[in-house]
Amino acid sequence: MLVILCGPPATGKTTLARSLRDRLAAHGYEFDSLHSDDFNRRTYERMSERVSEAEGDRNWIFDGTFFRRRHRERFRRLEDHCYVVRVRASLETSLRRNRDRESSIDERGAHVMYAEFEPPRADLTLDTDDLSEKEALDRLEAAVVGWLE
């Protein structure tokens, strides 16, 4: 199974992915995780190669912008059980969170990514402006456990 958390920078993807992995492990589900703040084609190629080359049935959580539809579709073709979770927040919230990060990205880049993000065919959408971190994580965990069963 592949679970892709996508969305513009600083919407909460990495925070949710890390916490989700821990919660799923507590239920006995093992997931490998990959994270990338790089937005280029080569990054997504390397990530898809890791999945293709992995032996056995493995579960993956990917978090990255995946701002182009073609990047997400590449992963959908790799795995029958691929689920896309759109994580969103307002531009203002994303910019504020980005400024508060240790490793922030250039604000102009954040504007571009936000403007050029191609909305996915999402299996789940989490709006982190409206949901607390716990509420978003609870919904995400419930969805993934449901997909696993």
| 105-147: pLDDT as tens digits | 888 988 998 899 999 999 999 999 999 999 999 999 999 999 9
Name the more confident of 16 and 70: 16
Band of residue 37 on the pLDDT scale cut at 50, 70, 90: low
- Give the structural domain span for 61: 2-148
Q: Say which residue, 70 or 89, is predicted with more confidence.
A: 89
pTM exceeding 0.75: yes
Amino acid at 42: R
Work out the angle between the directed axes of helices 13-26 and 133-148 (0-180°, nearest 10). 50
Please count the other Cβ atoms lying within 10 Å of the Cβ belonging to residue 139: 16
Q: What is the CATH number of the domain that holds 136?
A: 3.40.50.300
> How many domains does the structure of the chain reveal?
1
Tell me how crowded residue 45 is: count the other CB atoms within 10 A of its CB. Answer: 12
Report DSSP state, residue 83: E
- Whole-number Å distance between alpha carbons of 62 and 55: 18
Portion of the chain with pLDDT greater than 70, in percent: 97
Backbone angles phi, psi at 14, to 5 degrees: -65, -40
